[in-house]
Structure 1
């Protein structure tokens, strides 16, 4: 089984979301984009363990943009609907039997389940909730025992791992210990009960312990009378073997057996997700459920960057009978997933919209390039509100200085500068496009011996490959006149500042060589002097501390992104 698609109607800031899902979905987006609401929507359909209070929605759960004459969407009779399509059912006879009444397509089979919060047709002014087969139009409810075929393991971003593990109701250990109890042979149960009873008798038989137990019970009887006495006693453990096993507690630090409160929050999180994985595997092996769905908000919380990249391994890989949906703000976590799993939510006037990276028309080889590129640093791209794609490190370092002099704060604008370390922009432009991220590209003019700009040919081919027509600038594609360093030198008052930096970083002969330029060095002279100063990267790194006027191509790119939606 696979979660194929979700559609929402009037639910919070997801008034008309319609997006594909998959076995592994990593949801990104800025704060208040609707990531948690999307997970809650999925739980409303599939999670039969969701508390009653969470299933009963209110007026506050309706989209704010509804036209409500009364001011209350429930008074005006609006309804909330959330539909999930489930596919890849052919090889799962148990799920086919379970979902048969909800089939909306036969070849291949696709089942639909719909949560509705709507006026009760039989009780005026009363709302009712329920999960229905198909679109819910004929009000055929999905029985809870059928929904129990999917086990939903949900973890919130504000989880208290220590408390959850210690709580029998919430503990991920629960299902594992229950399976242990069910596998103990009867004769072993009898032997263990005898051992427990013997150990208990020896401890409570100590004179002082026995006297304390007698004193407690006498005082209780004196207070309430023999009719209401409790029959209180002291025991080391209960005599029932299953109760003893349920009371088992996890400890850390090996033979030191320290309590969980001594462990770091990060270590406890990894332990928690491993227990969730083991518990879901146990349910599947025991045929208690047909599918498990792990839904985790920000699993990277409290984790060191290296462990953030490993957390998905602790959660477990997706399979035919296991799906994973996580939200994240961690570039480290994104760097560890296949880019096709990314789902980006973005806020628009009409409500949140979703963009799936899987929609990018990339070949397998191109996806390989993208996945290698999205390391922990460049993975910030998928969290950006807007992206400026540039050729190399020098541009990446200098653009923030350009923006500052241009009156822009890149952080406040949500702009991330990504160097692709080359001129192969197409794959990254397609990724940004598929995720709905506005982007601009600046590339060098690179004039040839004949004076023709190789950069113009480069951008024209890029535009053609993306199906773009018209002026390049109108699509966010900007062209320098020469290389970055030459354009920078020729712009406004930058030359004097460049002389200062070259002199500081260069050799003792640098000043005399600069004098021979007469304010107009050739490209070779400038590049050679930059090499003397430690190379383009070191030169740019030091120059970025100076107030600089951006070359024209970068000014136009920043202005384009400032107004991009």
Structure 2
């Protein structure tokens, strides 16, 4: 099962955005571009414990009434009670309606019957409806006395539906929050969590993740399953009413009587409709308290932020291993005829996973999260400012948010054709030998160069010319052959870039190759791309003799160590790069 698409309308800076997700999705972008808001929206959609606030609404008034979070899931199991043909479309209204969750499916045309299908109907609503057919009203005529509880309404709906009396259409219909609670589990690791929030409370990352670990260990235990079913029957009986409309548990009758009398003191014409709901035990939602100490310090709240993050990742790694642990230690055979509860979908939302991590830890955390995302019914979505969590090889997992001039959030994901096997192999090589190569995706402008010489010398020369901009990233592409691969990535994620290339005018064969490359790059680029072409090569522009493999060192010695002035051709090229203007210094 996979969360494949999310659409936000009127949610903070998200005017109307659509994001395509992978099993592991990395969201990048400048500060305050809507990344954290997107994670919050996912949490609001799938975690009923979290409620929307006024701050979640866009300040654009016309959008507020339409504000919603909508998601599409694919490969939905047949055991799930919601979804059509393995596809589930789920929506949560952020404001303006009491029915906050809706699911797309074949639902009753009649509004009161829609409410009945989710246990929210009333006898008065059914009786007063002028559009419910006489056949349905006749079928419902012998309803039990008293106020009906939700499961009774659902049973009545199922009975008339089974007889083909309900006219249906494909539309959005309400879904109870208990269904969301039973089908989804969300772990949210916030960037600004305080120690006491992280280690305690019903919404803490430790408690949520710890509960999931225990559930994974306990869900196949026959004794727990049997006792849970037995207790569920007792709890359901506790809140049932008899034919006279009286509660089976007498204190509830007294409680209702007292409530009615208290209400009547000031509001005599108000009737009380009271319906108790038994807790659902089938999903075994455990909690966990986790604390640590060493010989000198007690309590994780008194220890470093890095340790808390390290514990979270240790729990994530343990979660990955739980299925094999349970399989190796649990020798019980499945119960005959037992109906397995639907496996919940697990979503891990992580803000800035790089926080408080050493570089060595950063290098492996992405691999750990990618492994976590391969587990069934499991997905990871994170936002980051670290290049270590961006996998260029898995280019479709990268989503870039922008918000120019403090306006609405824009979303850019991979829009082109897949990279070739050779291009993927090169990006895999880059990941292992140049872990900072993905830094270009965080830049205001990426400057794609053939080798290391420009990366070593250009920042110093640009500073001397009062052109230097730290938001520009000089990228060593390790040869002109690889520039197109980087260009494809930058174009798809809408990162502005400059290609700075040698024209090789003095070498006939090399000149032909350079001309063909430049023609190809021009065909691929859009308005965000600029191309700067030297007349011949770097040495020619810099006024240096050819140095072969020693070019980077000799150039660095000349311009950085010795501080030599920039030549006119090199200055022209550097100005074109930092001013993002096309320049071709070859002879026309």
TM range (shorter): 0.5 to 0.7
Q: State the partner residue of 1:394.
A: 453
CA distance change for structure 1 residues 29 and 460 in 2, over 3 Å: closer, same or farther?
Answer: same
Structure 1 Cα separation of the partners of residues 502 and 539 of structure 2: 10
Structure 2 Cα separation of the partners of residues 532 and 116 of structure 1: 61
Offset from partner CA, 1:345-369 (integer Å, 9 cap, x none)? 1113651111114745411321231
CA distance change for structure 1 residues 266 and 338 in 2, over 3 Å: closer, same or farther?
Answer: farther
Q: State the partner residue of 2:397.
A: 341
Report the Cα offset of residue 28 of structure 1. Answer: 0.6
Structure 2 Cα separation of the partners of residues 478 and 247 of structure 1: 59
The question of whether the paired residues in 2 share the 8 Å contact of 1:401 and 1:548 is answered with: no
CA distance change for structure 1 residues 545 and 270 in 2, over 3 Å: closer, same or farther?
Answer: farther
Offset from partner CA, 1:134-160 (integer Å, 9 cap, x none)? 399966222223212111101100234
Q: State the partner residue of 2:408.
A: 351
The question of whether the paired residues in 1 share the 8 Å contact of 2:2 and 2:74 is answered with: yes
CA distance change for structure 1 residues 276 and 141 in 2, over 3 Å: closer, same or farther?
Answer: farther
Q: State the partner residue of 2:314.
A: 274
Q: State the partner residue of 1:223.
A: none
How many pairs does the alignment contain? Answer: 431
The question of whether the paired residues in 2 share the 8 Å contact of 1:26 and 1:326 is answered with: yes
Report the Cα offset of residue 372 of structure 1. Answer: 2.9
Q: State the partner residue of 1:308.
A: 362
Query: Does 532-541 or 111-120 show the bigger shift?
Result: 532-541
Compute the TM-score of the two structures, normalised by the length of structure 1: 0.66
The reply to whether residue 317 of structure 1 matches residue 351 of structure 2 is no
Offset from partner CA, 1:122-177 (integer Å, 9 cap, x none)? xxxxxx46121139996622222321211110110023457633557632434546
Report the Cα offset of residue 461 of structure 1. Answer: 2.8
| Aligned pair partner of 2:467 in 395, 400, 408 | 408
Report the Cα offset of residue 554 of structure 1. Answer: 3.1
Offset from partner CA, 1:317-373 (integer Å, 9 cap, x none)? 213311000111112232597333111111136511111147454113212312432
Offset from partner CA, 1:49-84 (integer Å, 9 cap, x none)? 32xxxx2332x43334x366xxxx76xxx3202210
Structure 1 Cα separation of the partners of residues 67 and 552 of structure 2: 64
CA distance change for structure 1 residues 179 and 164 in 2, over 3 Å: closer, same or farther?
Answer: same
Offset from partner CA, 1:479-535 (integer Å, 9 cap, x none)? 10011121122xxxxxxxxxxxxxxxxxxxxxxxxxxxxxxxxx7xx1259959954
The reply to whether residue 436 of structure 1 matches residue 515 of structure 2 is no
Secondary structure, in 3 states, of the residue corresponding to 1:417?
Answer: strand
Secondary structure, in 3 states, of the residue corresponding to 1:416?
Answer: strand
Secondary structure, in 3 states, of the residue corresponding to 1:145?
Answer: helix
Pairing 1:122-141 to 2, within 5 Å after superposition: 128=98, 130-134=100-104, 140-141=173-174
Q: State the partner residue of 1:222.
A: none
Q: State the partner residue of 2:96.
A: 119
Structure 2 Cα separation of the partners of residues 339 and 538 of structure 1: 37
The reply to whether residue 98 of structure 1 matches residue 132 of structure 2 is no
The question of whether the paired residues in 1 share the 8 Å contact of 2:393 and 2:424 is answered with: no
RMSD in angstroms over aligned alpha carbons? 3.8
CA distance change for structure 1 residues 25 and 553 in 2, over 3 Å: closer, same or farther?
Answer: same
Report the Cα offset of residue 3 of structure 1. Answer: 0.9
Structure 2, unpaired ranges of 5+: 108-169, 225-285, 327-339, 583-588
Query: Does 374-383 or 416-425 show the bigger shift?
Result: 374-383
Offset from partner CA, 1:200-257 (integer Å, 9 cap, x none)? xxxxxxxxxxxxxxxxxxxxxxxxxxxxxxxxxxxxxxxxxxxxx989754366x999
CA distance change for structure 1 residues 281 and 309 in 2, over 3 Å: closer, same or farther?
Answer: same
CA distance change for structure 1 residues 39 and 153 in 2, over 3 Å: closer, same or farther?
Answer: same
The question of whether the paired residues in 2 share the 8 Å contact of 1:394 and 1:540 is answered with: no
The question of whether the paired residues in 2 share the 8 Å contact of 1:283 and 1:289 is answered with: no
Structure 2 Cα separation of the partners of residues 546 and 176 of structure 1: 63
Q: State the partner residue of 1:143.
A: 176
Compute the TM-score of the two structures, normalised by the length of structure 2: 0.64
Q: State the partner residue of 2:259.
A: none
The reply to whether residue 384 of structure 1 matches residue 424 of structure 2 is no
Offset from partner CA, 1:439-495 (integer Å, 9 cap, x none)? 11010111244498343332113334x277xxxx99411210011121122xxxxxx
Structure 1, unpaired ranges of 5+: 121-127, 187-244, 490-522
CA distance change for structure 1 residues 141 and 530 in 2, over 3 Å: closer, same or farther?
Answer: closer
Structure 2 Cα separation of the partners of residues 85 and 332 of structure 1: 29
CA distance change for structure 1 residues 387 and 246 in 2, over 3 Å: closer, same or farther?
Answer: closer
Structure 2 Cα separation of the partners of residues 247 and 456 of structure 1: 64
Pairing 1:499-510 to 2, within 5 Å after superposition: none
Offset from partner CA, 1:267-302 (integer Å, 9 cap, x none)? 331211322454587699796842211001011110
Structure 2 Cα separation of the partners of residues 556 and 23 of structure 1: 41
Report the Cα offset of residue 433 of structure 1. Answer: 0.6
The reply to whether residue 553 of structure 1 matches residue 548 of structure 2 is no
The question of whether the paired residues in 1 share the 8 Å contact of 2:452 and 2:552 is answered with: no
Report the Cα offset of residue 428 of structure 1. Answer: 0.2
The question of whether the paired residues in 2 share the 8 Å contact of 1:393 and 1:537 is answered with: no
Report the Cα offset of residue 27 of structure 1. Answer: 0.7
Q: State the partner residue of 2:271.
A: none
Report the Cα offset of residue 378 of structure 1. Answer: 1.5
CA distance change for structure 1 residues 159 and 403 in 2, over 3 Å: closer, same or farther?
Answer: same
Q: State the partner residue of 1:330.
A: 386
| Aligned pair partner of 1:477 in 520, 523, 531 | 531
CA distance change for structure 1 residues 474 and 432 in 2, over 3 Å: closer, same or farther?
Answer: closer
Secondary structure, in 3 states, of the residue corresponding to 2:400?
Answer: strand
CA distance change for structure 1 residues 431 and 314 in 2, over 3 Å: closer, same or farther?
Answer: closer
The question of whether the paired residues in 2 share the 8 Å contact of 1:396 and 1:417 is answered with: yes
Q: State the partner residue of 1:165.
A: 199
Secondary structure, in 3 states, of the residue corresponding to 1:99?
Answer: coil
Query: Does 369-378 or 19-28 show the bigger shift?
Result: 369-378
Pairing 1:192-203 to 2, within 5 Å after superposition: none
CA distance change for structure 1 residues 560 and 367 in 2, over 3 Å: closer, same or farther?
Answer: same
